[in-house]
Amino acid sequence: MKNELFEELKASIEEGGKILKGKKKPSRVFSYENPDPKQIRERLGLSQNKFAKLLGISISTLQNWEQGRRKPEGPAKVLLNVAAKYPDAILNTVYNH
């Protein structure tokens, strides 16, 4: 059984390498909406300072997002989408610890 699992893992790693090199398309792709940080912040009733602290980012990063100079990417984009759809989850998680 160990050899079978090893071969499966090896095949998975090789497939990942091909995907990263553009030689193979991934079997699935995840996409997330582009959130509007200012709209989310205002809906939560938070200042820029408090919202930046909530997200663990600098105020200048938040201001760049809100003014359209930059866009949130990766985990920040996901977290903003969670905050938009489930604001209580974000607020309760951060403020209840």
- pLDDT, position 67: 96
Per-residue pLDDT of the chain (97 residues; tens, 9 = 90+): 688 999 999 999 999 999 989 999 988 887 777 899 999 999 999 999 999 999 999 999 999 999 999 999 989 999 999 999 999 988 888 776 5
Domain locations along the chain: 1-29, 37-95
- pLDDT, position 96: 64
Spatial CA neighbour of 91 closest among 76, 79, 78: 79
Q: What is 37-95's CATH number? A: 1.10.260.40
Does pTM top 0.75 for this prediction? no
- pLDDT, position 92: 85
